[in-house]
Amino acid sequence: MSLNKTPFFELRSGSVDTLLFVVKTTDLNALRAELTRRFEATPEFFGNDTVGIDVRRLSESANGGEGERISLAELEKLLKSVRMRPIGVVALPVQAWVIQWANEGGLPILEARDRRGAPKLSVDEAKLNTVAAKVIEAAVANTPPPVLPQPATIIDRPLRSGQQVYAKGDLIVLGLVSYGAEVIAEGNIYIYAPLRGRALAGVHGNLDARIFCTCLEPELISIAGIYRTTENPLSADVQSKPVQIWLNEEKLMIEPLRLT
């Protein structure tokens, strides 16, 4: 039997989507206080969710050096204490202390595909990217037409607590999304009923995704990983009203829909 083929297991290349916990301070006490404040009222929101620890922001204050350091072991324990499951660390190549920690038995180094938090390019890197862009442009000219986008997924029934729906394209929901239910889409989400559970749009990093809802009463809303929970009360002009939600840079914008 070939060593590459076995009926018992298979190794394949692939990718796993996960949240990034972007670290902006080395003050573990401040992180602990903020995490406690944010999640103690709603501990189930991210219970058992996997996260990658992103420390790239810590290098910004060091002008390209290794930047500030934080105890990754302590941070890993802190995240586990609020029921998050760290699976790896995202770092810049200059942050050698992170790589050393990973090599000594800490979490593995992850490669992030997001656009936020990426370091600024040098002139030489920018030139290389320009050349690469021209090569890619020439290659694209000789490739077949792109595959058509995924058709919208339509859910015409109410979703009860504990139920989850995932759509590779847009998601259209015609029934109530109850407390504890979750709707997730790689594209936009349209809910023609009350939203009382969780709605997560653009989950593969689509910053242009939007959420449309005829009655906004959510436990959580999220676009491309930027989220808002009920601990941050909605204003009266959008609470229980028809709304659209989109991203402006890294801030969720919620605007009433004028349906008449």
| 170-185 residue pLDDT tens | 999 999 999 999 999 9
* pLDDT score of 245: 95
Output the CATH code of domain 153-256.
2.160.20.70
Per the prediction, the chain carries an average pLDDT of 81
Task: Report DSSP letters for 209-220, one per residue.
Answer: --EEEEEE--SE
Handedness of CA 222, 243, 207, 22 (dihedral sign): negative
Q: Does the predicted model carry a pTM greater than 0.85?
A: no
Following DSSP, what letter does each residue of 92-153 receive, concatenated?
A: -TT-HHHHHHHHTTSPPB-----STTPPPPPHHHHHHHHHHHHHHHHHHHTSPPPPPPPPPE
- Highest average pLDDT, of 31-45, 49-63, 127-141, 216-230, comes from 216-230
| Sign of the dihedral through C-alpha 75, 77, 80, 86 | positive
pLDDT more than 70, % of the chain: 75
pLDDT in tens, 68-91: 888 999 999 998 888 888 988 988
- Round to whole Å and give the CA distance between 136 and 126: 15
The least confident of 2-6, 54-58, 142-146, 163-167 is 2-6
Q: What is the per-residue pLDDT for 210?
A: 96
- The set of residues, in sequence order, having a beta carbon less than 8 Å from that of 174 and lying 6+ positions away, is 154, 155, 156, 157, 192, 193
The dotted CATH code for 19-103 is: 3.30.70.260
| C-alpha–C-alpha distance, residues 94 and 78, integer Å | 25
Write down the domain spans for the chain. 19-103, 153-256
Residue 249, token pair as written in the block? 């840079």
Model confidence band, residue 114 (pLDDT cutoffs 50, 70, 90): low
Confidence of residue 115 (pLDDT cuts 50, 70, 90): very low
